[in-house]
Amino acid sequence: MSAPAILPGATLGVMGGGQLGRMFVHAAQRMGYFTAVLDPDPDSPAGRVSHRHVHADYLDEKGLAELAGCSAAITTEFENVPAPALAKLARLKPVAPGADAVEIAQDRIREKAHFSRCGVACAPYAAIETQQQLDAVPAALLPGILKTARLGYDGKGQQRVATREQLAAAWAAAQRVPCVLEQLLPLAAECSVIVARGADGTMVHLPPQLNLHRDGILAVTQVWEGALPREQAQQAIAAAESIARGLDYVGVLCVEFFVLADGALVVNEMAPRPHNSGHWSMDGCDLSQFELQVRTLAGLPLAPPRQHSAAVMLNLLGDLWFDGDKPRTPPWEAVLQLPGAHLHLYGKLSARPGRKMGHLNLTGASAQQARGTALAAARLLGIEPF
């Protein structure tokens, strides 16, 4: 028998105070919940808008006890929250996603093993944890990308290598921590699928999202019928659902894929939380990824999301706040004159190059309209066209 739903009026807790936590908090508050955030930063984006902000480290015993004491259920907003903290909280209150799923997502070696167990293809790879494993790397994996097994995101902890000598040097530069070497594949595109799975096994998904990365950071997401060929889209959805089911996952999960030159799909990685590529759903869909996160955490019904507008999401990095070395304010007034422009800024107090400051959603009645408006916005902001 499933647990009773946690209804509006209760307090929902979140580990982490970044922008994803902020948007979860807004979604929960809009539905009538109170919120509590645990984050060590007194100026964290989510903490500043939550009803309660627990200023504590993620492993602080008193902070965890305070969050558990005031929350009916607890989620996480980024994948590097220590899994032991989630396990400790789960002994006191419902936690979704669970520590086991988050722990797998934190380790590329375990993550890839999980993909294989679920029958989902990933790029050919080798785990490198010892000198013997380094020496035994198959020549077919070069050229490749060496990735640290833990704590890599937005392109961090990744080095391209073409020879064994470069591989050895890259591993030494990474302090010989556990890594994976992935074969460099001919990519045509990248895409992602966001699924939401309830404790009862019910699963729904957002439409597959076509993504463009620059310097390892997501720059543009485009979503409309036909953005991906139907067969590819269905394959990506089935793979994401298999990965979530194999984890017995509860919550919102993003699975990212590479689309190869021959049209084949291989899984890249998963994120046990809402994802940058799902931000378009806040304005292009009747259920955003953050409302789905609230529903999975609270045990509410999961209705299939319906996209009502073609959508493009532009990531707004801190570079846009500078003209060379000179600080500037981006031209929001001109941008917001565009039809279907929806600005989301995260309340961060200072901009710096590469920092995610917000996103801009552009919606339209057709793919052509949404894309045209997005390109106009990109010109105004100084974002490279796509």
Residue 212 has pLDDT above 80, yes or no: yes
- Answer yes or no: do 207 and 276 share one domain: yes
Residue 92, pLDDT score: 97
- Answer yes or no: do 226 and 310 share one domain: yes
125 is in an annotated binding site: no
- Answer yes or no: do 55 and 67 share one domain: yes
Cα 236 from Cα 268, distance rounded (Å): 12
At 98, the amino acid letter reads G
Q: How distant, in Å, are the alpha carbons of 11, 55, 117, 206, 302 from that of 203? A: 24, 34, 20, 11, 7
What global pTM score does this model have? 0.95
108 is in an annotated binding site: yes
- Residue 141 sits in a domain whose CATH number is 3.30.1490.20
* Mean pLDDT, residues 231-252 taken together: 98
At 9, the amino acid letter reads G
Across the chain, what does the average pLDDT equal? Answer: 96
Number of domains in the chain: 3
pLDDT digits (tens, 9 = 90+) for 125-179: 999 999 999 999 999 999 999 999 997 665 567 999 999 999 999 999 999 999 9
- Residue 69 sits in a domain whose CATH number is 3.40.50.20
In a domain, 112, yes or no: no
- Answer yes or no: do 48 and 176 share one domain: no
61 is in an annotated binding site: no
306 is in an annotated binding site: no
324 is in an annotated binding site: no
Instruction: Kindly indicate the confidence band of residue 79, based on its pLDDT and cuts at 50, 70 and 90.
Output: confident
Residue 279 has pLDDT above 80, yes or no: yes
- Answer yes or no: do 197 and 278 share one domain: yes
326 is in an annotated binding site: no
316 is in an annotated binding site: no
Q: Which residues pair with 210 in a beta bridge?
A: 191, 222
In a domain, 117, yes or no: no
154 is in an annotated binding site: yes
Residue 152, pLDDT score: 64
pLDDT digits (tens, 9 = 90+) for 151-163: 766 556 799 999 9
